[in-house]
Amino acid sequence: MLIRDIKDAEYFRSGDNCVLCELLHPKNSESYGVGQLSMGYSISHAKVLKGEKSLPHRLVRSSEVYYILSGEGRMHIEDESEVLSSGQGVYIPPGAVQYIENTGECDLVFLAVVSPMWDDSDEEILS
């Protein structure tokens, strides 16, 4: 059984300016002490700090879902913009230009699920 705890995960500043850890990603299965993970997606625990926003970017081939755990933000996908808060999820289609801004008084925290799994060669930062 594989259980990953965000308290033990290493966070870093991603190319789109989020603070995140790759909670479950098949490319990291050896570091988890297990064999190859049979999953075609990846899950990251992400934060946009108070007063910050991610950089405009897109995933060329992958779709993405953000599930908001806490905080408030405004999601921008192409020409659309909507407010998001805890308990909501948003689908981001492949190739869509996107960014999210923290509009609340605390960190905006969410899960980012990418299918197929996130790969840096699939991401284009458009800042």
List the chain pLDDT tens, one digit each, 127 residues.
888 899 988 999 999 999 999 999 888 777 777 777 889 999 999 999 999 999 999 999 999 999 999 999 999 999 999 999 999 999 999 999 999 999 999 999 999 999 999 999 999 999 7
Q: Is residue 59 part of a domain?
A: yes
DSSP string, 49-67: -TT-BPPPEEESS-EEEEE
Q: Is residue 5 part of a domain?
A: no
CA Rg value for the chain: 14
- Cβ-count burial of 51 within 10 angstroms (0-12 exposed, 13-18 middle, 19+ buried)? exposed
| Number of independent structural domains in the chain | 1
Q: Which domain holds residue 59?
A: 10-125
Q: Where are the alpha helices (DSSP H) in 1-127?
A: none
User: What is the CATH classification number for the domain harbouring 106?
Assistant: 2.60.120.10
Type of residue numbered 94: P
Q: Mark 74-99 as b/e (b = at least 16 C-beta within 10 Å).
A: bbbbeeeeeebeeeeebebeeebebb
pTM: 0.93
Q: What is the DSSP letter of 26?
A: G
Give the separation between CA 115 and CA 62, rounded to whole angstroms: 5
